[in-house]
Every structure is written in structure tokens, then in C-alpha cells.
């Protein structure tokens, strides 16, 4: 069975600082990987996704993530955080090669941005 | 274009009562998913509709949960009778009928269910 671990429940960074949110997954085959963000009162919004090809994926809002198969990781990064990035971030894995559409999510990382 | 709409946004009920959550997907989206997040834990898959058919209901926790999507438009998720452990946020998501690599999910803002 697939699983996703987000080791950091809560992270606080200063505005303008760099950010890295960790995500480790467990899946027997090539995974489909996603990062979603949920701002207060909003639904989950897709930041970026990895299916194949270049292991460094660019997303919206200046985010990027790198797929590292050897480490089973898909960490999310941003070089300079803005106050509007304060939200909860979810990593997810999909079993794309089986055709099953259900996503398995991590428990989320809440990001707080200090001025 | 309207997004995925969920109603109500909040529901507070007593144990043993019945609650029905509604999801209106984006018009034209064949795929509709229900997920829920309990007690700040991970978001878990409940089930997947393609039009009016249940494609995958492997995540439904027990027979107190009943999901329907009559006519392939909006969907309802009924919990009867509700138990304390059913409290959480119920998310709905929809997508167009595409291959899995191109599928883009649009999520609603969720229904916060509190069972007292």
C-alpha cells in the first residue's frame, strides 16, 4: 500500500527566507506525485505535479519540487517566502500506473510566515 | 466559471443523527471524488464517481456512509447514524474525463462536520 509522510507538522519562517517542506513516500512502482496548498477557507489548490521526465518540477507561485527516487522524496522548495504563502501544504501520491485515481495524502505541514 | 461548491460549510449534529453533505462539481466534470480529513490527520480518499457510477468506493469506512450521484451531476454523502469519529472536514473534488496523467483535480472548500 502506498503512503506519504510529511515529518514537519508546523514550520515557521521569516518573510524572504527560503523554504523547504519535506515529503517522503512509499510506493512500489513509479509514483505520480503532487503538492497541494490549502489557504484558510479555501479548497486545495494544485501547486505542481510529477509524472515522469525532469525530476525538478516547477509549479505555480514560485514553488518547485525535486523527485529523488533513491530517497523516496519529493520535497517542496521556494527561494523566498511571501506572507501570502502562509497556508497548509499537502504532499500526495497517486498510483497512476494502475489506473486507480485515488490520491494518498500526507498529514500536511502548516506554514507560518513571520514579518 | 464556478468552482466546486460544497454545502453546508459547517454542520454540527448530535451523535445518532443523520447528516447529508452536498457537492456540486464543476459543470461538465465527469469525475467526482469525496475525501475527508479527520482530526488534523491525513486527507483520506472515500470514493470516486464517474458520472453516476461508483468507480471506486474502497475508502468508504462503513455502511453508515452512503454516497449518491443521481444523474451524474451533484453528489450527496449521507452519514446515518453519525458517530463521534465521523467528525472532520469532508472535501469534494472534480475533474474532466481525461487520462490520469492529464487529470487536474479541483477541490471544494470542504464541509466541517462536528458530531457531539
Task: Check residues A32 and A75 and name the one with the higher pLDDT.
Answer: A75
pLDDT single digits (tens) A40-59: 888 899 999 998 888 999 99
Distance (Å) from the alpha carbon of B11 to chain A's nearest alpha carbon? 15
In chain A, the percentage of residues whose pLDDT exceeds 90 is: 77
Closest CA to A22 of A7, A39, A4: A7
Cβ–Cβ gap A104/B106 under 8 Å = no
DSSP category for residue A15: T
Which chain A positions have a beta carbon within 8 Å of B88's beta carbon? none
DSSP category for residue B87: -
Nearest Cβ partner for A100 among B56, B104, B110: B56
Mutate to test the interface with B, among A4, A102, A107 (most CBs of B within 10 A): A102
Residue A109 has pLDDT above 80, yes or no: yes
Numbered residues of chain B with Cβ closer than 8 Å to any chain A Cβ: 3-4, 31, 33, 35, 40-45, 48, 55-56, 58-59, 91, 93, 100-101, 103-110
Q: How confident is the model at residue B103 (pLDDT cuts 50, 70, 90)?
A: confident
Closest CA to A88 of A29, A23, A38: A38
pLDDT single digits (tens) A21-45: 999 999 877 788 999 999 988 889 9
Residue A97 has pLDDT above 60, yes or no: no
Q: Cβ-count burial of B95 within 10 angstroms (0-12 exposed, 13-18 middle, 19+ buried)?
A: buried
Residue A98 has pLDDT above 80, yes or no: no
Nearest Cβ partner for A101 among B3, B56, B107: B56
Q: What is the mean pLDDT of residues B68-94?
A: 95
Distances in whole angstroms, Cα of residue A42 to Cα of each of A45, A88, B2, B91, B110: 8, 11, 14, 11, 8
Residue B98 has pLDDT above 80, yes or no: no
- DSSP SS3 for A34: strand
Distance (Å) from the alpha carbon of B100 to chain A's nearest alpha carbon? 6
Amino acid at each position: 500500500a502506498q503512503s506519504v509522510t510529511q515529518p514537519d507538522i508546523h514550520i515557521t519562517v521569516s518573510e524572504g527566507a527560503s523554504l523547504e517542506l519535506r515529503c517522503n513516500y512509499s510506493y512500489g512502482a513509479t509514483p505520480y506525485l503532487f503538492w497541494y496548498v490549502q489557504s484558510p477557507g479555501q479548497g486545495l489548490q494544485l501547486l505542481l505535479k510529477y509524472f515522469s521526465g525532469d525530476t525538478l518540477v516547477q509549479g505555480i507561485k514560485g514553488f518547485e519540487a525535486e523527485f529523488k527516487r533513491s530517497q523516496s522524496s519529493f520535497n517542496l522548495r521556494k527561494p523566498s517566502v511571501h506572507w501570502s504563502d502562509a497556508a497548509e501544504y499537502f504532499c500526495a501520491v497517486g498510483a497512476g500506473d494502475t489506473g486507480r485515481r485515488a490520491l494518498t495524502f500526507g498529514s500536511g505541514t502548516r506554514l507560518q510566515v513571520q514579518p | 466559471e464556478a468552482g466546486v461548491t460544497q454545502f453546508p460549510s459547517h454542520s454540527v449534529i448530535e451523535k445518532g443523527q443523520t447528516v447529508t453533505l452536498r457537492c456540486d462539481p464543476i459543470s461538465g466534470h465527469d469525475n467526482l471524488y469525496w475525501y475527508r480529513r479527520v482530526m488534523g490527520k491525513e486527507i483520506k480518499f472515500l470514493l470516486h464517481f464517474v458520472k453516476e457510477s461508483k468507480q471506486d468506493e474502497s475508502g468508504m469506512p462503513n455502511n453508515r456512509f452512503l454516497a449518491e450521484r443521481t444523474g451524474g451531476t451533484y453528489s450527496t454523502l449521507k452519514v446515518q447514524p453519525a458517530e463521534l469519529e465521523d467528525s472532520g472536514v469532508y472535501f469534494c473534488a472534480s475533474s474532466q474525463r481525461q487520462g490520469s496523467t492529464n487529470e487536474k483535480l479541483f477541490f471544494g472548500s470542504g464541509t466541517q462536520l462536528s458530531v457531539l
